[in-house]
Chain A
Amino acid sequence: MTGQSKVAYQVMWNRLISVVEEQAQVLVRTAFSTSVREAGDLSAGIYNDKGKMLAQAVTGTPGHVNAMADAVGHFIRRIGRQNMFAGDVYITNDPWEGTGHKHDITVVTPVFHDGTLIGFFACTAHVTDIGGRGFGADAADVHEEGLHIPIMKFADRGEVDQTLVSIIRGNVREPDQLVGDIYALATCNEIGQCRLLDMMAEFSLPDMVGVSDFILMNSRAATLERINGHTPGSADGAMRIDGYAAPIDLKVKVSIERDRILCDWDGTSGVDKKGINVPLVYTKAYTCYALKCAIAPDIPNNAASLAPFEVTAPENSVLNALFPAPVALRHVIGHMVPDTVYDALDKLLPDLVPAEGAGCLCNFQLSIRPRTDAPAPADARRSEVLTFNSGGSGARPRLDGMNTTAFPSGVMTMPVEATEQVGPVIIWRKELRADSGGAGRQRGGLGQYMDVGVREGHEFDISAMLDRVYHPARGRRGGLAGGLTTIGRDDGVPMHGKGKQFVPHGRVVQMAFPGGAGYGAPVARERTAVRRDVALGYITGAHAQEYYGLSAAEVDDVLARSEAGEVF
């Protein structure tokens, strides 16, 4: 120990949390891809010299946050400490050593103090394009999913590797955006480093050993205290979802033991042929996230507070896919992990976890180009447009589910106006979807409608990344299922929930994203809540009559008062 007081360490811990938050904000402010600058699909963190995570930005998404926790160890092993110098910047998009797919670029910067390596800053961001087939489910192996950047130096002692930059530029569809994003990642680590060195000067710290021990010891103790506050026991959970060509079963056994909680995914379906497989690092990320929300929500994320949550999955299962399995859409199944864990946890800790929700984000990417069926106008152009959207979350034991709110993902949707500035896309509709929240004493959150086309003179491929077309979110304790996903063209041509599909000139894709499930029997719902739902159009009059037993006269009365603008 360096003789610092506990109070000083407490201040430093808080400072590090604010430093990484600033790191994340700098990334948002300097990034080019809308997924980063508008949607916050990123993470940022600080690590000790051993590669153990000490603090992580609040801004960010759990899949990155918890996956990146392991990444720095791989960088230390691959680069070698003896080859690390001040001014270096390292990079990778390796799905197994980064955060689960090639579209996530992870950048790591070593921090030197008086010539000694004292720690690292790392950050990850989801970029719009990395070449290959483009962001989608269709690849048969990871090589089709785009450029692979193994762990290597992006900058050596301050000098950016121009060969690497040329290779990257030559392999992707939006080279300016991607190179700009990599600079943004490097920049935010540098800002973090400046703030850290300021703090070390202020407290006259020679290294981070003392503060690191303080953070990790306290976090571990607090986490164990929470875990040991629960009765030991184990329970099984399961969920069936759409998959690509055939349904996929997720199965988990959750065991609460002394000093740890174990999640074993034995029994889960095998690796899929298409790019919806999940590297174990990402499975771990979302399993830990689900447990942390339920057991220790207020303890900051770091190596020690995550360690007591242990996760295993059989090799070559869909939740532990090995190289070279295709993994581009690992989030679709990864986002279903928490609700599967909750299916088990509900049996151990009743009255705590929500009913199932939409789960995975309702994302799609458009590859837009000038029309090919007739002469295109002179200003028609190619463009890649990615959007993130959310269905409804599951109802809670005492609260309705949240409308169109991401869970478990932590990303935001992009403003429609920002998306339409990026490329010739037109979003014609983005609004709440009535009747999609599963009925219940507590109602599931609503999904949304989205209609998407492109400007005159263009056609496009849509890469759909939707689940719950066939398997809705299931209710708890008598609550009913949420609404299913639908997707089709405005001329009536049906479409698939996953995969790249061509949309000819002039056509619009119409989608309805799923709702969350209900909690408790619908008859037990308070009448005032049902009437309010009707007045606000969250449910239609017919739905209110069928599931909640509202009379036709009551419905008419509520609708008339709603039209008069009354408050409910």
Chain B
Amino acid sequence: MQKKIRLGVDIGGTFTDVVLETPDSLTSKKILTTCAAPEDAIIEGMHNVCSKAGISVSAITRIIHGTTLATNALIERCGAKTALITTEGFRDVIEMRTESRFEQYDLNLTLPEPLLPRNRRYTIRERVGARGDVLRPIDRAEVEALADRLLAAGYESVAVGFLHAYANDAHERLVAEVLSEKMPDTMVSLSSEISPQMREYERFNTTITNAYIKPLMTSYLSRLRDRLAAEGADCPIFLMHSGGGVMSIENATEFPVRLVESGPAGGAIFAADIAARHGIGKSLSFDMGGTTAKICLIRNQVPETARVFEVARTYRFKKGSGMPISIPAINMVEIGAGGGSLAHVDAMNQIRVGPESAGSDPGPACYGRGGQKPAVTDADLVLGKIDPKNFAGGAILLHADKSARALNLVVGEKLDMDIAEAAWGLAEVVDENMANAARVHAVENGEDLSEYTMIAFGGAAPLHAARLCEKLGVSRCLVPAGAGVGSAIGFLLAPFSFEANRSVFMRMSAFDPVEVKRLFVDMEAEAASFVHSCDAAAEIFKDYKVYMRYAGQGWEIPVGLTATQAENPDAETFQRLFEKDYVKLFGRAVAGMEAEIVVWSVSVYTPTRKPCTVSTATTCAAPPVTGLRDLFDPGISRRVDASIIDRSAFRPGLTAPGPAVVTEDETTIIVPSSREIFNHSDGTLDIRIKKEGTP
């Protein structure tokens, strides 16, 4: 039997991480993202790890890929020239939003700009009713005339969103047909396919997002497949999706909106695995890369999930200030705070950082590639957190003088600060931004962060994690082995999974066991065939769920079913299960009210690996110190001599007091004076508050 050799690849805004897993080794490499052709970095990284591991590229049996290219295109608004075709009278759904203010007390509130400006939104006379009946037929000639206008304007992609298309997709399909004749090179996204759910604002926005990034992602994925094949990696390629599972490249091409937050989803899976290994009930995953930081709550070792999430929040990370996307996703906040985030001084003489990012080209000033503005990495370098000769495993030689010049020019001169003070200010602002985002996210989820353990990974996180813990009152932070490439490792841990859904309304009084049985059998077959197409021999698990509510409510709750209950359905059992869960969630059932089923779901997935448990035997012995580094410690507002420790010489069971810097190929771990650092048997570093009496 062929040995399983898998490659995990995560493209971030700044770095591309590649991880190769063989039955007995894990090899990783960090390379600068190559924006113009992101596949170049993958090819380079793949050759690098293969030669390190001593295998041939053709021996790779599977590639699993995730990327923030889609998310970044949304935040930076650099997607395709896209048009929306919608129902006459509803041109402004995505601009009018919910007609409310997400912050009620700010008289100077600014609403986010819609993804498509008004002149790129077109209407057609047609109308489908709430029951899916046609109230006003669509006229093919009108669609053809509109297609001519869109062709003349040179649109690359078109989103189609008609009212109630989730109940009847005929009009959307007709438009797709006309467009494929009139403008065959233009990509089309239909709301009835992308997100067939009621509530037009979320559905249209999700569809537009899909359309907006589709040309970019399609061309990228097809180039990637060709290049990999040309280089000898002719194995199946899978994509990480926002829900934390894996899907085929064909599905990803059709539904690129599902790639939004796919990289971060891999990170959450990675963190959940670490939490399981260490038996931690409440953990906060903190993933900071070159462009953004992601924060996710993980309870009982399972990442929080949501059916609607928001990308690109514009106002102090506040709920409602971004764009809603209605697809299944791991629930996290993402903010424009990464190593590459650029700083400026605003009109009120405040230092602001991000969301604009230097990316990998030109990159922060210290890369010496022509960047003139100071980035977070520049501040980290000046503060002594990074070794200029060993950044990203020596991939780039950093220039501290260039950082200093940029900091002085953009921040120092304006605010009359010396370079060190400017760097401190910049780093404190970005840390405070992240701490606020974490607090808001915790409050929205009714949680108190002080009970949480942070799990930090991604290239920039270990540089900032301990300071963040100080700000949030979090007493413990884990930095796992492979922290620099955590998301890519997460891809390898993710199961093949597919969730089949149907929107079929059914009241308990009209419960039809034969129909229900048929629905489940259909969905099961669909989901299982997908998973088996990824791995024909895989052992599979199935979860059955219905989303139920009292007839007349607007929001459903998930009700889990056993295989037996799904195979032999009856109304009484369903009502009883619903009321039991309803009482568990809300404390009280509504007497005498009829329940209904709104959404049906079967999820098929392969088992996840059992995490190995960790021994935590501790000694007082300290790891070898190879030198001292001049480090600025913001917690006590002064420079200190930090011990330099090489992570590869930091044996399990040893403890070192802060201030210290632990260096490794992909990142550096900063331990402030208030903390100490301990190494677990799995190589996870544990940064915790110093015990009394420790120097």
A interface residues (Cβ-Cβ under 8 A, vs B)? 11, 14-15, 17-19, 21-22, 26, 28-32, 34, 37-38, 40, 58, 62, 160, 176-177, 179-180, 183, 186-187, 190-191, 194-195, 292-294, 297-298, 352-354, 388-390, 396, 398-399, 402-407, 410-413, 415-418, 420-421, 426-432, 448-449, 451, 455, 535-538, 562-568
Contacting residues, chain B, for A412 (C-beta < 8 A): 98-100
What per-residue 1/0 map shows which CB atoms of B371-415 lie under 8 Å from chain A?
000000000000000000000000000000000000000000000
Chain A residues within 8 Å of B593, by CB:
176, 180
Shortest Cβ gap from B506 to chain A (Å):
15
B315 at interface (Cβ–Cβ under 8 A)? Answer: no
Q: A405-B111, A411-B100, A412-B100 are in contact. Are A568 and B92 (CB under 8 A)?
A: no
A-B contact count (CB 8 A): 186
Q: Are B588 and A190 in contact (CB under 8 A)?
A: yes
* Complex partner residue of B101 from A183, A410, A429, CB under 8 angstroms: A410
CB of B279 within 8 Å of the partner chain: no
Q: How far is the CA of A564 from the CA of B117 in the complex (A)?
A: 12
Q: Which residues on B sit within 8 Å (CB–CB) of A537? A: 118-119
With A15-B448, A183-B588, A187-B588 in contact, do A353 and B98 touch (Cβ < 8 Å)?
no
A430 to B163 Cα, complex, angstroms: 12
Known contacts A431-B91, A565-B83; is A11 also within 8 Å of B450 by CB? yes
Which of B216-224, B546-554, B645-653 lies at the interface with chain A? B546-554
CA distance A141 to B476 in the complex (A): 64
Which of chain B's residues have a CB closer than 8 A to the CB of A536? 117-119
**A11-B448, A292-B105 known; A417 and B200 CB under 8 Å?**
yes
Whole-angstrom CA separation of A191 from B586 in the bound complex: 7
- When A407-B101, A536-B118 are in contact, do A432 and B96 touch as well, CB less than 8 Å? yes
With A298-B105, A536-B117 in contact, is A37–B130 under 8 Å at CB? no
Q: How far is the CB of A137 from chain B (nearest CB, A)?
A: 22
Q: Which of B147-155, B234-242, B268-276 contacts A (4 or more CB under 8 A)?
A: B147-155
B83-113 contact mask (Cβ, 8 Å, vs A): 1 or 0: 1000011111101101111001111111100
Smallest CB gap from A183: residue in B:
B590
Is B515 at the interface (CB under 8 A from chain A)?
no
Contact status A417-B130, CB under 8 Å: yes
Q: Is B576's beta carbon under 8 Å from chain A?
A: no
B83: chain A residues within 8 A (beta carbon) = 565
Whether B521 is near chain A, meaning CB under 8 Å from some CB there, is no
Determine if B164 is an interface residue (Cβ-Cβ < 8 Å): yes
* Contact among A29, A353, A420, A431 with B107 in the assembled complex (CB-CB below 8 Å): A353
Q: Is the CB of B107 within 8 A of A352?
A: yes
Q: Does B225 contact A (CB under 8 A)?
A: no
Q: Are A29 and B443 in contact (CB under 8 A)?
A: no
Interchain CB contact under 8 A, B99 and A562:
no
Known contacts: A32-B552, A177-B552. The answer to whether A405 contacts B446 by CB under 8 A is no
Q: Confirm or deny: B632 has a beta carbon within 8 angstroms of a beta carbon on chain A.
A: no
Q: Does B587 contact A (CB under 8 A)?
A: yes
Q: How far is the CB of A200 from the nearest CB of chain B, in Å?
A: 14
Instruction: List B104-145 residues whose CB lies under 8 Å from chain A.
Output: 104-111, 117-120, 127, 129-130, 135
Asked whether any CB of chain A lies closer than 8 Å to the CB of B170, the reply is no
The answer for the CA separation of A353 and B106 in the assembled complex, in Å, is 11
Report 13 cross-chain contacts, Cβ distance below 8 Å, ordered by A residue.
A30-B586, A34-B554, A58-B104, A191-B587, A354-B107, A402-B111, A411-B100, A412-B100, A415-B199, A418-B198, A427-B89, A432-B118, A537-B119
Report how far A58 CA is from B105 CA in the complex, Å. Answer: 10
Please, which residues of chain B bring their CB within 8 A of the CB of A29? 555, 557, 586
Contact status B555-A194, CB under 8 Å = no
**Which of under 10, 10 to 19, 20 to 34, or 35 or more describes the interface residues of B?**
35 or more
Nearest Cβ on chain B to A190's Cβ, whole angstroms: 4
* B81 at interface by CB-CB < 8 Å: yes
Given contacts A405-B99, A412-B98, are A426 and B129 in contact (CB under 8 A)? yes
A562 CA to B152 CA, complexed, in Å:
12
> Does the CB pair B155–A413 fall under 8 Å?
no
* Interface pair A432/B92, CB less than 8 Å apart: yes
- The reply to whether B446 and A418 contact each other, CB–CB distance below 8 Å, is no
Is the pair A26, B199 in contact by a Cβ cutoff of 8 Å? no
Taking CB atoms, residues of chain A closer than 8 Å to B443 are 14, 17-18, 21
Across the interface, do A22 and B446 meet the contact criterion of CB distance under 8 Å?
Answer: yes
Set of chain B residues within 8 Å of A562, measured between Cβ atoms: 119
- Asked if B201 is an interface residue, CB under 8 A from chain A, the answer is yes
- The smallest C-beta distance from A337 to any residue of chain B, in angstroms, reads 15
Decide: B163 and A410 in contact? CB cutoff 8 A.
Answer: no
**B91, B92, B95, B444 interface centre (most CB from chain A within 10 Å):** B92
* Inter-chain contact A420/B99, CB cutoff 8 Å: no
CB neighbours of A15 from chain B (8 A)? 448
**B108–A399 CB distance below 8 A:** yes
Q: In the complex the two chains form, what is the Cα distance from A373 to B184 in whole Å?
A: 51
Q: Are A428 and B590 in contact (CB under 8 A)?
A: no
Q: Which chain A positions have C-beta within 8 A of B109?
A: 402
Bound-state Cα–Cα, A429 to B149, Å:
23
A30 and B553 within 8 A (CB): yes
Complex contact A37–B554 (CB within 8 A): yes
- Among A26, A30, A568, the one with the most B-chain Cβ atoms within 10 Å of its Cβ is A30
If A19-B446, A396-B107, A567-B117 are given as contacts, then 18 extra A-B residue pairs at C-beta distance below 8 Å, sorted by A number, are A18-B443, A21-B446, A30-B586, A32-B550, A37-B553, A37-B555, A190-B586, A194-B587, A389-B99, A412-B99, A416-B200, A417-B200, A421-B130, A426-B127, A429-B89, A429-B90, A432-B96, A432-B118
Q: Is the beta-carbon distance between A404 and B99 smaller than 8 angstroms?
A: yes
By a CB distance below 8 angstroms, the chain B residues around A19 are 446
Compute how far the CA of A195 lies from the CA of B447 in the bound complex, rounded to whole angstroms.
11
Task: Report the bound CA distance from A304 to B458 in whole Å.
Answer: 45
A565 and B81 contact, Cβ closer than 8 Å, known pairs A37-B555, A411-B100, A416-B163: yes
CB distance from B113 to the nearest CB of A (A): 11
Contact of B198 among A17, A398, A417, A566 (CB under 8 A): A417
The list of the 3 closest CB pairs from A to B, nearest first, reads A429-B89, A297-B105, A37-B554
When distances are taken between beta carbons in the complex, the residues of chain A under 8 Å from B129 are: 420, 426, 455
**How near does chain B come to A410, taking the closest CB pair, in angstroms?**
5
